């Protein structure tokens, strides 16, 4: 079993990759199936890593919609034909930064110096 720190680092790595892939903007992403696939895959893996975090860690960050992240993972894995790119773009623009901030704070708290 990996440590919580490893999952937090992985979440941040996925967010960074999503942000890199989305950097060109909505029109570029919507025109590129390759970018769409990369973003969706990183969202899926990121969501999976959030499910591995301890409940006590999640409770310290109620600003994050942990249940929504879990639901997104299920849609991405099981209903991938129904993935709504507009909804994905909204998540990238509105929600990723909230998760990123929480993950960074949890990472600091999990460090020996935290």
Active site amino acids: 73, 78
* Buried/exposed code over 33-70 (b: 16+ C-beta within 10 A; e: otherwise): eebbebbbebbbbbbbbbeebeeebbeebeebebeebe
The DSSP 8-state label assigned to residue 53 in this structure reads: S
Are 51 and 84 in contact, with CB atoms under 8 Å apart?
Answer: no
């Amino acid at each position: 079993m990996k440590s919580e720190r490893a999952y937090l680092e992985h979440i941040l790595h996925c967010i960074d990759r999503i942000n890199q892939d989305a950097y060109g903007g909505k029109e570029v992403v919507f025109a590129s199936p390759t970018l769409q696939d990369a973003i969706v895959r990183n969202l899926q893996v990121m969501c999976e890593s959030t499910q591995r975090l301890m409940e006590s860690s999640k409770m310290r960050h109620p600003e994050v919609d942990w249940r929504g992240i879990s639901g997104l993972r299920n849609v991405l894995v099981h209903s991938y034909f129904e993935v709504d790119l507009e909804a994905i773009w909204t998540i990238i623009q509105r929600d990723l930064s909230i998760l990123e901030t929480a993950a960074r704070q949890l990472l600091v708290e999990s460090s020996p110096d935290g």
